[in-house]
Chain A
């Protein structure tokens, strides 16, 4: 059974600081996804990582994937208030078994 763990579950940061959210998963896969969710809203796709060593960046967010370690990171650089949200990572198995297993989420609060 595929398990996905995120840490920390809660993160309170000051504006301008850097931090990293970690996502570990239990079964071999080279497909990992990061989503953002604002309160009461649906999921917004941030990054799709499809191979070992994949690194993607969008603004102040950067995601990477190490399939050998079964680890992905979401790095936040110089945080700003509008990054406050809940961030989920999710993993699916390879072709023929496309269904997502989600982590429990990291609730990020950026303090001015």
Chain B
């Protein structure tokens, strides 16, 4: 079955450490997105990519970095510059506009905790 796979499900980061969250999709979607969710709040956009080798900052990109070397993969690195990284991270993907648009597909999420 097609879908989005996020790994790991739980991740613990020490102070000053960089960590990378994985997001892989086999839906043949062109666009991919990273969102952050803090407890009791909505989702905020970190980065998004509408095509391979291109990505744009979202609303809260500071302290994060991404790459999009393959269509299927959009990893997110949480750097030591992100001072409050504890949150739930969700990856999503979508097809190009105008091709039977039916919204976004979300992964199961990664819960990151600073220890």
Cβ A48 vs Cβ B103 within 8 A:
yes
Cβ A45 vs Cβ B103 within 8 A:
yes
Contact with A along B99-115 (1 / 0, CB 8 A): 00111111111010000
Q: Which interface residue of B42, B50, B90, B105 has the most chain A CB atoms within 10 A?
A: B42
B68 at the interface (CB under 8 A from A): no
Given the known inter-chain contacts A42-B108, A98-B97, A99-B48, please indicate yes or no for A33 contacting B42, CB distance below 8 A. no
Q: Within 8 Å CB of B35, what residues of A? A: 100, 102
Q: Within 8 Å CB of B44, what residues of A? A: 102
Cβ A98 vs Cβ B50 within 8 A:
yes
B77 at the interface (CB under 8 A from A): no
Chain B's nearest CB lies how many Å from the CB of A108?
Answer: 14
Tally of contact residues, B, Cβ under 8 A: 27
Chain A's nearest CB lies how many Å from the CB of B70?
Answer: 20
Chain A interface size band reads: 20 to 34
Taken together as a complex, chains A and B put the C-alpha atoms of A40 and B111 apart, in Å, by 9
Taken together as a complex, chains A and B put the C-alpha atoms of A41 and B48 apart, in Å, by 22
B23 at the interface (CB under 8 A from A): no
Taken together as a complex, chains A and B put the C-alpha atoms of A40 and B9 apart, in Å, by 11
Q: Within 8 Å CB of B33, what residues of A? A: 99-100
Given the known inter-chain contacts A43-B90, A95-B98, please indicate yes or no for A100 contacting B43, CB distance below 8 A. yes
B8 at the interface (CB under 8 A from A): no
Give the B-binding residues of A (Cβ under 8 A).
Answer: 4, 33, 40-43, 45, 48, 50, 88, 90, 94-96, 98-105, 107
